[in-house]
Structure 1
């Protein structure tokens, strides 16, 4: 059996006893559509994971490093100056972890640190032109593919997809993160 033959996001396969989802009020047609939607979300997540791993390997960086570079590129595109504190807040990491991250990125030639233009106590962090070019040619081109997929939708379809994704995000954010005792 091929891995693609296993319906890992099928509601009935994941919850055969109906303890998590009450399927009594859901028609078979609706259930099939929901399963197809969950399968599509899973395939998207798998593709994003695959591309993320390939990008990290290509650039010889970890996930947090890549998130840091993305933030630095976007903020620079917006004309903003980034400090270590702003980067730490965005990444939800400690100042010590941020220092290690910046040291690593600077040693690898991905960023520069220079005096902040208006705050003498802070340093401005910028992505090097070479790293910006590589990121644009790889991750940027990947993001452009997402844009093209969204652009093919009608305005009404984009509203429905946006509402669905926000609702799903809210549902997942509402989970309290507690788990039963380990077995």
Structure 2
């Protein structure tokens, strides 16, 4: 995709024309164009990720919270860990009553099943069904495999640059959340 085809809403000129947030004095035009292109590609990737998520949600007839719960259960299954309703409540940031309703709904639709906790007789676990695990792999897993192929194609040095950029960007964005006042983060 050429630079002129990228989304412009993330460009410096469009998002901060008065340079109130991002001071550009002393940055040469070629650097600004390259930085703009990085921002546009990041925006394009977020748009594609949202399309993938919506497509997966529609295919599996799940909402965003359901999908996050399913991903958590699949990850735990791969790691050989059990998932309790309490752990889901904490992970999803929702009440235990909401988790119970969600599990009831997912169980009724054949996405999850309740099992006995392996070590605590008073507790139960929730695990994803094999059918849903396969469907999630087909829907979401194939997209993640594409990311792996791109990362694999880079040299170790290039991967280190990408890792440093993504980690630093995440750190900077996270610190901006900590600096924001009430109501400014959502």
Report the TM-score, using the length of structure 1 for normalisation: 0.92
| Greater RCO (Cα-Cα under 8 Å, separation 6 or more) | 2
SS in 1 for 2:98: helix
Question: How many angstroms does 1:179 deviate by?
Answer: 6.6
The aligned residue for residue 167 of structure 1 is: 168
The aligned residue for residue 69 of structure 1 is: 70
* Contact 2:6 2:41 (C-alpha < 8 Å) held by counterparts: no
The aligned residue for residue 158 of structure 1 is: 159
SS in 1 for 2:9: coil
* Contact 2:6 2:40 (C-alpha < 8 Å) held by counterparts: no
Aligned pair count reads: 178
CA 5–113 in structure 1, closer or farther in 2 if over 3 Å, else same: closer
The aligned residue for residue 181 of structure 2 is: 178
Question: How many angstroms does 1:28 deviate by?
Answer: 0.7
Question: How many angstroms does 1:141 deviate by?
Answer: 1.2
SS in 1 for 2:10: coil
Report the TM-score, using the length of structure 2 for normalisation: 0.90
Q: Please state if 1:102 is matched with 2:103.
A: yes
Cα RMSD between the aligned structures? 1.7
SS in 2 for 1:39: helix
Question: How many angstroms does 1:177 deviate by?
Answer: 3.6
CA 5–33 in structure 1, closer or farther in 2 if over 3 Å, else same: closer
SS in 2 for 1:124: strand
Residues in 2 aligned to 1:171 and 1:38: alpha-carbon distance in whole angstroms? 14
CA 164–97 in structure 1, closer or farther in 2 if over 3 Å, else same: same
Residues in 1 aligned to 2:180 and 2:94: alpha-carbon distance in whole angstroms? 19
Q: Please state if 1:55 is matched with 2:56.
A: yes
Residues in 2 aligned to 1:6 and 1:144: alpha-carbon distance in whole angstroms? 25
Mark the runs of 5 or more structure 2 residues left unpaired by the alignment.
none
Mark the runs of 5 or more structure 1 residues left unpaired by the alignment.
none
Question: How many angstroms does 1:178 deviate by?
Answer: 2.7
The aligned residue for residue 20 of structure 2 is: 19
Q: Deviation digits for residues 13-33 of structure 1, max 9, x if unmatched?
A: 211111111100211111000
Residues in 1 aligned to 2:183 and 2:78: alpha-carbon distance in whole angstroms? 45
